[in-house]
């Protein structure tokens, strides 16, 4: 096994697809060990932010922050992205021909293994950085080949392409990874052409492939290469981390693959120019991610002439936990949609202006006076129903006497609204017709668009593109009766000429012209006329290159009901999007409706935890990328023995394994409530009589009282009298080669079986569920302590099933 530690110098952890990773594995002091912790202490606790700690050699000062001579300056700094993995190098066993997956070499002992690689015509060497370096000298073709003792059928060849050769003035420069036939020029593999910058997936006959699949080489996406055969098909695959693979080409398996024994060759060629090598690493390795996150700091320590840096790292929950409290869902939805200007209009009452929250520097809107009288009270009225926003109340003396908001949004907004198509969004409330919601104009008034209500309360759009004083009026079909005192939501998409009101398409055939150089925004009137009488909120301007109205129209539900009733998995993904997280893995299929979370004021993580608790689900950071995993409760129902992560003999466990039977998790009385619903109680009276009352309160986001009752029953049925269980299982995975990869693949909610328990144990074997783990990685050692719970805790009744239909034991109803 080989520890793989990589830094994303200069990258942003939230954009893993853009990070070029630098391997610093050889700097890790494995004598001081690497420690990693993830997950929860038990199934009733929240998962905690994942963490990692490791010590790095800094003798050359490359990891000293502020050291301008560091090859990674100025990116040796806090919050630098880091990822940690274990690369498991398989051991050859059995007799030839061997599966190609057993052809493995970490290139980490400083010398080429001539038994494994008997052909080395170019003077290839192993570097101190644990790489195979193959020179590409001008006019020299080289081979670095294995013995012919391997089979691709049902197997694979994997390698990390650690460095590609530079062209350096040559007319031809290439490096390849081939699985070769006994016939010269017949081979399968990957070829990198430095002149073209192309990585080609090829199946050559006579040294040619007319159907080659050519990829523009990417050091990020093509860091790892693999050729795999399965069930009559050959797959060419690439990966950025050696774990998640993308298929680039498939082909029916050539006959020679099954009929012949193969060799592997890493040949190179260069016709001219100057030398530059290719470097390969970790041939045959199976990568298992252990951690993905941020370095908190680079504290430098000195001892004599030596220097080390012991870094602590945290996963993406560090970033999430430092985010400010969420605004209302109406505000978060608009912000996440990427407006060029956004005025929530939620400033406090003593403000004299309202500001842009899009972040692009649009100018503020200030209070303007027309005629005499009238008021504009910022924070004078409640906003849309599902928010806790306080928004302006416009009270003019007449349609031409009173106050409104106006300002110059600036050249940047003008440029974007001219280059792309403008889209307007706003919330409005009034009982008076004949008033203007907002107007957008160019400085010279040559281009104007106004959203307003007719005297009868019908939505209309007014416009000009020639500076005429009289604006052309276009009534919006179906958008009538809007001066009814209720809150309404409007989206006007100039790209498609469509208008959406309260989430419904009202008109899709507006014949309006495109507006240029518009930057002056009026809200609550237009140039001192048709002054608004009522309230306005969440005015946004977008610049789009594609239809956007339908997506923005969905914001209506944010303000109207806070998306009440949407399923838990959808809610988790919605909340994640507010933090810019687009990678959310959903596991399980039971996702109940969730109540509104429309008002602001709570943190993002707190909102997600509310959903998690409501659904008895699990939420945690992925260990291989910047993303979240959300598991529904049914993922744990009745574990299938065939799908368990691994099995382990009790004799192979480290000392300290013990059964626990205490009241730590006991709950025999639950009082549960939901927003706007009944408060209900579920109790296990027999357990209360025997043990006394162990109460708990549940305040959850269910949408009906029956669901609240189900959740309370679910908790009591599982914990009124918990059975004895194993809560910690420690294994030295490195001493279990047959199960090593399976052990490393186990994650939160995986389950495994411990068998051959001592005769004093409650049962000869027990299946447990992983709630979290701590691991210690050292040279040839990988010690993992799994924090576990009894898998039977989540079993549910299956009618007439021998295992899950045992009266008073496994007849718990699923919820």
Res 575: pLDDT: 97
The answer to whether residue 169 scores a pLDDT higher than 90 is yes
User: How far is 321 from 12, CA to CA, in rounded Å?
Assistant: 17
The answer to whether residue 810 scores a pLDDT higher than 80 is no
List the structure tokens of 151: 């089979």
Q: Does residue 408 or residue 657 have the better pLDDT? A: 408
The answer to whether residue 787 scores a pLDDT higher than 80 is yes
Question: In sequence order, what are the residues at sequence separation of 6 or more whose Cβ sits closer than 8 angstroms to the Cβ of residue 164?
Answer: 175, 192, 194, 217, 219, 278
List the structure tokens of 808: 């008073």
Domains in the chain with CATH codes? 2-88+289-315 (2.40.10), 98-284 (2.60.120.200), 338-554 (2.60.120.200), 566-636 (no CATH), 662-722 (3.30.1920)
Q: Bin 305: left if φ > 0, else alpha if -120 < ψ < 50, else beta.
A: alpha
Going by pLDDT thresholds of 50, 70 and 90, the confidence category of residue 769 is very high
Res 470: pLDDT: 82
Mean per-residue pLDDT, 363-389: 96
Q: Does residue 736 or residue 805 have the better pLDDT? A: 736
Q: What does the angle CA 348 – CA 351 – CA 352 come to, to the nearest 5 degrees?
A: 150
Res 221: pLDDT: 96
* 326: DSSP letter: P
Question: In sequence order, what are the residues at sequence separation of 6 or more whose Cβ sits closer than 8 angstroms to the Cβ of residue 363?
Answer: 356, 407, 408, 409, 410
CB atoms within 10 A of CB 444: 9
User: How far is 526 from 369, CA to CA, in rounded Å?
Assistant: 12
Going by pLDDT thresholds of 50, 70 and 90, the confidence category of residue 812 is confident
Contact by Cβ (8 Å): 202, 189:
yes
Mean per-residue pLDDT, 578-595: 95
Res 123: pLDDT: 93
Res 786: pLDDT: 97
For residue 567, what is the enclosing H or E element? Answer: strand 566-567
**pLDDT tens digit string along 479-526?**
999 999 999 999 999 989 999 999 999 998 886 777 788 999 999 999
CB atoms within 10 A of CB 392: 30
Res 809: pLDDT: 63
Q: What does the angle CA 787 – CA 806 – CA 729 come to, to the nearest 5 degrees?
A: 15
Res 780: pLDDT: 87
Question: In sequence order, what are the residues at sequence separation of 6 or more whose Cβ sits closer than 8 angstroms to the Cβ of residue 806?
Answer: none
Candidate from 25-39, 99-113, 463-477 with smallest mean pLDDT = 463-477
Token pair 């350096």: residue: 168
| 3-state SS, residue 154 | coil
The answer to whether residue 320 scores a pLDDT higher than 70 is yes
539 closest CA partner among 515, 555, 523: 523
**pLDDT tens digit string along 392-415?**
999 999 999 999 999 999 999 999
**pLDDT tens digit string along 215-268?**
999 999 999 999 999 999 999 999 999 999 999 999 999 999 999 999 999 999
Res 159: pLDDT: 97
Res 808: pLDDT: 64
Res 770: pLDDT: 97
427 closest CA partner among 439, 435, 437: 437
Mean per-residue pLDDT, 83-103: 94
Mean per-residue pLDDT, 105-121: 94
Token pair 């909120």: residue: 537
**pLDDT tens digit string along 674-688?**
999 999 999 999 999
282 closest CA partner among 131, 139, 153, 409: 131
**pLDDT tens digit string along 454-485?**
999 999 999 998 887 688 899 999 999 999 99
**pLDDT tens digit string along 687-712?**
999 999 999 999 999 999 999 999 99
Question: What one-character-per-residue DSSP string does 465-496 give?
Answer: SS--SSPEEEEPTT-----SSSEEEEEEETTT
| 3-state SS, residue 282 | coil
Question: In sequence order, what are the residues at sequence separation of 6 or more whose Cβ sits closer than 8 angstroms to the Cβ of residue 75?
Answer: 9, 10
The answer to whether residue 714 scores a pLDDT higher than 90 is yes
């Amino acid at each position: 096994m080989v520890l793989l530690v990589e830094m994303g110098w200069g990258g942003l952890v939230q954009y893993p697809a853009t990070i070029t990773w630098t391997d610093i594995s050889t700097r890790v002091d494995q004598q001081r060990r690497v420690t990693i912790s993830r997950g929860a202490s038990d199934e009733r606790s929240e998962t905690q932010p994942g963490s990692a700690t490791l010590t790095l050699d800094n003798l050359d000062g490359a990891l000293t922050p502020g050291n301008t001579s560091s090859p990674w300056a100025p990116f040796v700094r806090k919050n630098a992205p880091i990822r940690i993995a274990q690369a498991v190098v398989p051991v050859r066993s059995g007799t030839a021909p061997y599966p190609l997956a057993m052809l493995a070499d970490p290139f980490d002992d400083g010398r080429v293994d001539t038994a494994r690689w008997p052909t080395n015509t170019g003077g290839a060497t192993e570097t101190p950085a644990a790489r195979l370096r193959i020179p590409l000298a001008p006019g020299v073709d080289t081979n670095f080949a294995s013995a012919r003792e391997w089979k691709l059928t049902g197997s694979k060849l994997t390698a990390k392409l650690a460095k590609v050769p530079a062209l350096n003035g040559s007319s031809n420069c290439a490096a390849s990874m081939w699985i070769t036939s006994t016939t010269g020029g017949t081979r399968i593999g990957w070829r990198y052409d430095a002149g073209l910058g192309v990585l080609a997936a090829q199946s050559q006959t006579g040294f040619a492939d007319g159907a080659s699949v050519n990829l523009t080489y990417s050091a990020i996406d093509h860091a790892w290469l693999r050729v795999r055969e399965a069930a009559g098909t050959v797959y060419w695959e690439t990966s950025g981390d050696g774990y998640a693979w993308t298929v680039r080409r498939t082909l029916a398996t050539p006959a020679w693959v099954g009929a012949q024994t193969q060799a592997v060759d890493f040949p190179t060629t260069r016709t001219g120019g100057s030398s530059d090598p290719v470097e390969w690493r970790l041939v045959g390795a199976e990568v298992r991610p252990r951690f993905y996150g941020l370095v908190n700091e680079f504290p430098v320590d000195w001892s004599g002439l030596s220097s080390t840096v012991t870094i602590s790292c945290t996963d993406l929950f560090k970033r999430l936990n430092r985010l400010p409290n969420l605004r209302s869902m109406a505000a978060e939805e608009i912000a996440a949609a990427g407006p060029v200007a956004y005025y929530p209009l939620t400033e406090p009452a003593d403000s004299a202006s309202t500001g842009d929250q899009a972040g692009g520097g649009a100018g503020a809107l200030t209070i303007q006076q027309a005629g005499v009288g009238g008021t504009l009270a910022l924070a004078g009225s409640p906003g849309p129903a599902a928010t806790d926003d306080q928004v302006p109340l416009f009270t003019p003396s007449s349609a031409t006497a009173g106050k409104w908001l106006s300002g110059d949004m600036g050249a940047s907004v003008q440029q974007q609204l001219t280059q792309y198509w403008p889209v307007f969004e706003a919330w409005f409330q009034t009982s008076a017709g004949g008033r203007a919601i907002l107007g957008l104009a160019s400085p010279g008034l040559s281009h104007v668009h106004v959203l307003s209500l007719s005297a009868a309360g019908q939505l209309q759009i007014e416009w000009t593109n020639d500076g005429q004083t009289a604006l052309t009026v276009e009534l919006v079909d179906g958008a009538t009766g809007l001066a009814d005192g209720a809150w309404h939501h409007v989206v006007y998409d100039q790209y498609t000429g469509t208008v959406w009101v309260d989430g419904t398409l009202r008109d899709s055939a507006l014949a309006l012209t495109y507006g240029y150089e518009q930057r002056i925004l009026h809200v609550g009137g237009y140039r001192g006329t048709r002054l608004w009488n009522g309230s306005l909120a969440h005015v946004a301007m977008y610049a789009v290159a594609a239809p956007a109205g339908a997506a923005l129209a969905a914001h209506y539900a944010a303000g109207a009901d806070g998306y009440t009733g949407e399923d838990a998995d959808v809610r988790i993904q919605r909340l994640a999007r507010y933090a810019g997280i687009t990678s959310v893995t959903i596991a399980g299929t039971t996702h109940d409706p969730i109540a509104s979370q429309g008002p602001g004021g709570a943190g993002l993580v707190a909102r997600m935890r509310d959903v998690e608790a409501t659904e008895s689900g699990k939420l945690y950071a992925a260990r291989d990328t910047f993303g979240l995993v959300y598991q529904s409760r049914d993922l744990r129902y009745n574990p299938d023995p065939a799908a368990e992560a691994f099995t382990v003999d009790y004799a192979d466990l480290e000392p300290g394994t013990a059964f626990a039977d205490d009241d730590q998790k006991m709950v025999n009385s639950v009082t549960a409530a939901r927003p706007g619903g009944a408060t209900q109680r579920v109790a296990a009276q027999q357990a209360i009589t025997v043990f006394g009352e162990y109460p708990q309160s549940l305040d959850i986001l269910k949408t009906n009282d029956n669901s609240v009752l189900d959740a309370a029953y679910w908790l009591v049925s599982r914990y009124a009298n918990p059975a004895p269980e194993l809560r910690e299982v420690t294994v030295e995975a490195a001493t279990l080669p047959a199960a090593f990869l399976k052990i490393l693949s186990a994650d939160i909610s995986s389950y495994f079986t411990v068998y051959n328990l001592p005769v004093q144990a409650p049962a000869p074997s027990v299946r447990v569920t992983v709630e979290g783990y701590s691991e210690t990685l050292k040279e040839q050692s990988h010690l993992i302590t799994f924090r576990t719970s009894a898998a039977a805790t989540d079993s549910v009744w299956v009618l007439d099933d021998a295992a899950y239909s045992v009266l008073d034991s496994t007849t718990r109803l699923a919820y």
